[in-house]
Amino acid sequence: MKTQNLKIYFLTALTIGFYSCNSNEDSTKEASIAEVHDQIVNVTHHDGRPFSTGKTTNSLTGKYVANPGGGVMMQAFYWDVPAGGTWWDTVSTKVTEWSNAGIGSIWLPPASKAQNGAFSMGYDPTDYFDFGDFNQNGSTETRFGSKTELVSLITKAHTENMQVYADIVINHNSGGASESNPFTGTNTWTNFTGVASGKFPRTYADFYKNSFGNNDEGAFGGFPDLCHAAPNVQDWLWKRADGVGKYYKNTMKFDGWRFDYVKGFGTWVVKDWNANVGGFSVGELWDSNVNTLEWWANNANSSVFDFACYYKMNDAFDGNNLNLLNDDMMWKRNPYKAVTFVTNHDTDEIWTKELAYAYILTHEGYPTIFYRDYEEWLNKTKLNNLIWIHNQKATGTTSILYTDNDEYIARRNGYNGNPGLVVYINNSDTWQERWIQTNWTNAQIKDFTGNSTWFPTTQGDKWVKIQCPPKGYSVWSINM
């Protein structure tokens, strides 16, 4: 059996039931989920296109409602989490705290048995139906634990009203037996008829090269490249009632999908999966070109990770040029299909992380928090405060009010009685102050981060002076 090691390139959404606060009312109220606002703000791109659709959905039905464009996701792993089959139990101990903090979903690593068995992070899949209950590839449990422990984790997350997303690797496989391949004239490691689960048996006919062609959009790392045009592959991945997608959703109770390395196969694959299986989906299309991201999301009928936003934040915050935040990003094209992030298991380039989290947790899109940032590296109290602000105040469309190299000020325009907010990010070494125009007349406001102790009152023309600490941020809204 061929041995290969894989570290692959680098998750939506759950809309928080926003509590909508009207400045003329003392009580809070929640809007109906049927009331959806779709507004174009007056800010435009450099070429004159509208800035954002700015949809916001509110719910009466529960704490979280699945709907791309809202909520907060936790990437519940990092590269090389501790081996030994304890990770599912570790995450289980966290989900109640995460839910209480306002996190609505968790993205788990690939859950099935891979070639490197108990040492694999799952991105070299062998048997999609072995969740740690078959003795193959050198172990019974996966790196993360047993099937029983995984089911327990998913059940507990659902009890906490959180959704669970599976990392799905369907571009390539690893760990097959050698067989004579008439399409290559050589032996290839493409015989998966002996997988322990007995499900999704496959041979060279299911991999490129084959009768359907020489190759698809992209192979990865020398692994056998699955051919999604092959009927057997389609049936077992997303069409059969007992196939991968429907088994994961209906039996294992996963709520959605993070599709790995979507550059390796056509957009039609994810679109067909979503049409047949359902659930939330987000694709890992590692590309900073927002046109490419938008094209993929529209054609795949899926959310996509906002790498355009990621790279702009890296250049803006670490390069001391916040003017770059005026540039185009996926969340500005369609916040309902944009999953924003500061770091993940594959890439960790942004050093000014607190400012980056202040940005994604106050702006449109579906923000993702990285496990190690939350649990180990950053100030959890500050992150919890930003999560609360996101869930309670970050509503409506976005207007950028001011930018220069060191300062960035934007306004969320609110929705359905919720007043929205103004976020002020300051990357300089000194306190800064600015007069800005709000949507609030004669209203006392405050900084909900507590970084400023000011309680200014907006003027009759809605203008007010706000401040921001050095290398920090403040988030302003009506004091109620």
pLDDT single digits (tens) 204-252? 999 999 999 988 888 888 899 999 999 999 999 999 999 999 999 999 9
pLDDT grade, residue 71 (50/70/90)? confident
Q: What would the mean pLDDT of 46-54 be, rounded to a whole number?
A: 33
Of 32-36, 121-125, 286-290, 304-308, least confident by mean pLDDT is 32-36
Q: Is the confidence at residue 49, as pLDDT, over 50?
A: no
Note the pLDDT tens digit of each residue in 151-195: 999 999 999 999 999 999 999 999 999 999 999 999 999 999 999
Q: What is the mean pLDDT of residues 375-393?
A: 96
Residue with the bigger pLDDT between 46 and 349: it is 349
Of the pLDDT bands very low, low, confident and very high (cuts 50, 70, 90), residue 416 is confident
Longest dimension (CA), the chain: 80
pLDDT band at 38 (very low <50, low <70, confident <90, very high): very low
Strand 280-283 relative to strand 303-305, pairing? parallel
* pTM, rounded to two decimals: 0.87
Phi-psi region of 227 (alpha: psi -120 to 50; beta: other; left: phi over 0): beta
User: How far apart (Å, rounded) are the C-alpha atoms in residues 18 and 58?
Assistant: 6
pLDDT of residue 9: 30
pLDDT band at 145; cut points 50, 70, 90: very high
Question: What integer pLDDT is reported at residue 260 of this predicted model?
Answer: 98
Mean pLDDT of 37-59: 31
pLDDT over 90 (residue 398): yes
Tally of CB atoms within 10 A around 153: 26
Q: Tell me: pLDDT of 31 over 50.
A: no
Position 20, amino acid: S
Catalytic residue from among 124, 130, 284, 447: 284
Q: What is the pLDDT of residue 315?
A: 97
On the question of pLDDT at 316 being above 80, the answer is yes
What pLDDT shows up at residue 70? 61
Clarify whether 284 is annotated catalytic.
Answer: yes
pLDDT at 215: 83
Mean pLDDT score, 256-274: 98
Which residues contact residue 114 at a Cβ distance below 8 angstroms, ignoring those fewer than 6 apart? 120, 121, 122, 123, 124, 125, 126, 137, 142, 174, 175
Give the pLDDT band (50/70/90) at residue 442: very high
| pLDDT at residue 290 greater than cutoff 70 | yes
Between the ranges 22-31, 67-76, 384-393, where is the mean pLDDT highest?
A: 384-393
Output the pLDDT for position 103. Answer: 95
> For residue 276, which phi and psi values (nearest 5 degrees)?
-90, -35
Please say if the pLDDT value at position 434 is more than 50.
yes
The CA distance from 45 to 368, in Å, is: 25
Annotated binding site for Ca(2+): 171, 235
Confidence category of residue 362, pLDDT binned at 50, 70, 90:
very high
What is the C-alpha to C-alpha distance for residues 375 and 135, in angstroms, rounded to an integer? 33
User: What would be the CATH architecture of the domain defined by 62-394?
Assistant: Alpha-Beta Barrel (3.20)
Supply angle C-alpha 63, 64, 70, rounded to 5. 130
Q: Give the whole-angstrom CA distance, residue 401 versus residue 289.
A: 25
Instruction: Give the residue among 123, 99, 95 at the shortest CA–CA distance from 109.
Output: 123
Catalytic one of 130, 216, 260, 306: 260
What average pLDDT does range 460-476 have in this prediction? 98
**Catalytic residue check, 364:** no
Contacts of 148 (CB under 8 A, 6+ apart): 133
Q: How confident is the model at residue 63 (pLDDT cuts 50, 70, 90)?
A: very low
Per 3-state DSSP, the chain is made up of helix, strand and coil in percentages (nearest 5) of 25, 25, 50
Q: Tell me the average pLDDT across 299-315.
A: 98
Give the Cα separation of 69 and 150 in Å (integer): 27
Residues flagged as binding site = 171, 235
Other CB atoms closer than 10 Å to residue 127's CB: what's the count? 23
CB-neighbour burial class of residue 271 (10 A; exposed 0-12, middle 13-18, buried 19+): middle
Q: Assess whether the previous peptide bond of 209 is cis (omega < 30° from 0).
A: yes
Domain boundaries, the chain: 62-394
Confidence (pLDDT) at 221 = 83
DSSP conformational letter for 324: G
Band of the pLDDT at 29, cuts 50, 70, 90? Answer: very low
pLDDT at 3: 32
Q: What is the mean pLDDT of the chain?
A: 87
